[in-house]
Amino acid sequence: MYALVDGNNFYVSCERVFRPSLEGIPVVVLSNNDGCAIARSNEAKALGIAMGAPWFQIKHLAEQSGLVALSANFELYGDMSDRMMSLAAGLGHAQEIYSIDESFVELSGIRGDLVERAHKVRSRILQWVGIPCCVGIGSTKTLAKLANHIGKTAERKPGSYPSHLAQVCNLAAMSPEERDSIFAATAVQEVWGVGRQISKQLQAGGIQTVKDLIRLDPATIRSHWSVVLERTVRELQGTPCIDLEHNPAPKKEIATTRSFGRPVLELHQLAEAVTDFASRAAEKLRKQSGMANQVLVYIRTSPFRPDPQYSRSITTPLRRPSADTACIAKAALDGLQRIFQPGFKYAKAGVMLLDLQHEGQQQCELDLEGDSQKDRSTLMTALDGLNQRYGKGTLHMASAGVEGSKRVWSMKQERRTPRYTTSWEDLPVAKA
DNA sequence: TCTGGGGTCCTAGGACCC
DNA sequence: TCTGGGGTCCTAGGACCC
């Protein structure tokens, strides 16, 4: 038995904790570059703002309907997330943190009324952290996710589902008849693992609701679609196929990619950006004690512009596995040289570290540069320490350019709120 | 003027091998 | 007329997730 604890409109809820005046009004949180809406309050959803809606298309709602837009403040959200997760863990014996606002909790061996217990945890999170959340309970992770969706929808849209399911919904405690009628009222695209493409295909075959989907034979699903969808259907039928991940697996790839604040035309500007991305990626890699064997770099124009399009990536193998910023940046820059074409307005670039391994797995080879490698690794540790202590970018590669107006590629972020919980300067001040 | 970032898994197809 | 079969590895791309 699993529970899924999921913060409501998480980023917006984080902002509201520190600005209660945002309560009750339409609020969106914008992606980098203030590009599009990545979180919406219920009031914003009611205005018809879609997930991912570009800001310039909904801007007029600020005047028309009092919509408030904020730049994303991921430092704040990450910290609020930690607080929420530690309370959610109390629901059961094991927890898997699935995303910044969601965690699965294993409920087996928990006695007593699960719904009552979930309500208690929910109010504790609301009271101690300030984040409203919903809890879904089911015999598989996919059913717990679905239950969570039902709990949220029942709360947000009265009349959509029976009102006693709002906030906490336990699918496992329902009669078959009640479950059936709820599945019949739920569209296939609400299921975890069924996205736009697959739901379109299912609907074309007359499969509209969860009730329709659950009746299908897994073998048919597999031959018509894939093993992935087959697993999803089995999970909906109550057969667990996806286990709780107990210890977070190390990442298999690490990426740093950004859209630019404005179009970039020159190679040397791309090189600055790519150096910066490579440094950030290498830093993440060292944080998980990993080494990379390959470095991928890509550049592309904006698919939304009518301009000539260009998009290319290239993978450069490293001579030996490495987590060294200079070594990774060099590989990325070598790749960039080879794929760059002049005459395009570049909108985005990225660096990905692939084929990762743990630093302990390094092959023992006869190596005349052994000592200098040790020195490099000490230097990297010092670099990370200084950047951690004095702020990101205190020390960086010379080719990454300097902060400020010279970096034409840096992103726009004009609506960020203070880092209330992670920066002393931004600590809220209580006034008497 | 203006459209995010970071992941995972699976599949198809090509190259290569015996 | 007619051109094997099976395996592995790699890459690109699709689909999904939040």
pLDDT tens, position by position, A115-128: 999 999 999 999 99
pLDDT of residue A330: 93
User: How much is the average pLDDT of A93-121?
Assistant: 96
- Closest nucleotide over all strands to A98 (CA to C1'): C18
Distance A165 CA to B15 C1' (A): 56
Distance A334 CA to C8 C1' (A): 30
Report, in ranges, which bases of strand C sit under 7 Å from a protein C-beta.
11-12, 14-18
Distance A323 CA to C16 C1' (A): 30
- Closest nucleotide over all strands to A194 (CA to C1'): C16
Q: Which of A40-49, A280-289, A311-320, A407-416 has the lowest mean pLDDT?
A: A407-416
User: How much is the average pLDDT of A327-351?
Assistant: 91
Residue A211: CB atoms within 10 A of its CB come to 18
A63 or A307: which leads in pLDDT:
A63
Distance A202 CA to C4 C1' (A): 39
Residue A229: CB atoms within 10 A of its CB come to 21
pLDDT of residue A279: 94
What is the distance between the alpha carbons of residues A234 and A28, in angstroms, rounded to a whole number? 36
Q: Does residue A366 have a pLDDT over 70?
A: no
Tokens (6 digits) for A285: 């890699």
What confidence tier does A346 reach under pLDDT thresholds 50, 70, 90? very high
Torsion of CA A308, A313, A314, A320, to 10 degrees: 150
- Closest nucleotide over all strands to A348 (CA to C1'): B4
- Closest nucleotide over all strands to A100 (CA to C1'): C18
pLDDT of residue A367: 53
What is the distance between the alpha carbons of residues A109 and A117, in angstroms, rounded to a whole number? 13
Residue A98: CB atoms within 10 A of its CB come to 16
Distance A202 CA to B5 C1' (A): 29
Q: Does residue A45 have a pLDDT over 50?
A: yes
Whether A106 and A89 have beta carbons less than 8 Å apart is answered as no
CA A222 to chain centre: 28
Distance A272 CA to C10 C1' (A): 31
State the average pLDDT for chain A.
Answer: 90
Q: Does residue A391 have a pLDDT over 70?
A: no
Distance A29 CA to B4 C1' (A): 11
What is the distance between the alpha carbons of residues A159 and A430, in angstroms, rounded to a whole number? 41
pTM of the model: 0.91
pLDDT of residue A405: 44
A76 or A430: which leads in pLDDT:
A76
- Closest nucleotide over all strands to A277 (CA to C1'): B5
What confidence tier does A353 reach under pLDDT thresholds 50, 70, 90? very high
Torsion of CA A351, A355, A359, A363, to 10 degrees: -130
Q: Residue A253: name the closest of A397, A356, A113 by CA.
A: A356
What confidence tier does A219 reach under pLDDT thresholds 50, 70, 90? confident
Closest protein residue to B5 (Cα–C1')? A257
- E-strand ranges in A49-116 read 68-71, 94-99, 102-106
Report, in ranges, which bases of strand B sit under 7 Å from a protein C-beta.
1-11
Q: Does residue A414 have a pLDDT over 70?
A: no
Based on C-alpha coordinates, what's the Rg of chain A? Answer: 24
Whether A125 and A25 have beta carbons less than 8 Å apart is answered as no
- Closest nucleotide over all strands to A303 (CA to C1'): B3
Under DSSP, the state recorded for A416 is: B
Please report how the helices A114-128 and A74-88 are oriented relative to each other, as an axis angle in degrees rounded to 10. Answer: 140
Closest protein residue to B9 (Cα–C1')? A228
Residue with tokens 């209330």: A420
Percent helix, strand, coil in chain A (nearest 5)? Answer: 45, 20, 35
User: How much is the average pLDDT of A231-260?
Assistant: 92
- Closest nucleotide over all strands to A232 (CA to C1'): C16
Q: Residue A384: name the closest of A299, A316, A294, A324 by CA.
A: A324
Distance A317 CA to B16 C1' (A): 21
If DSSP codes are grouped into helix, strand and coil, which group holds residue A423?
coil
- Closest nucleotide over all strands to A296 (CA to C1'): C11
Which residue ranges have CB below 7 A from strand B? A 31-33, 35-36, 38, 51-52, 54-56, 226-228, 249, 251-259, 262-263, 284, 302, 304-305, 347-348, 350, 411
Distance A223 CA to C6 C1' (A): 22
Distance A61 CA to B2 C1' (A): 15
If DSSP codes are grouped into helix, strand and coil, which group holds residue A197?
helix
**Rounded to the nearest 5°, which phi and psi values hold at A25?**
-115, 160
Under DSSP, the state recorded for A386 is: H
- Closest nucleotide over all strands to A257 (CA to C1'): B5
What is the distance between the alpha carbons of residues A328 and A292, in angstroms, rounded to a whole number? 8
Distance A375 CA to C17 C1' (A): 40
If DSSP codes are grouped into helix, strand and coil, which group holds residue A116?
helix
What is the distance between the alpha carbons of residues A379 and A238, in angstroms, rounded to a whole number? 53
What is the distance between the alpha carbons of residues A7 and A231, in angstroms, rounded to a whole number? 26
Distance A431 CA to B9 C1' (A): 52
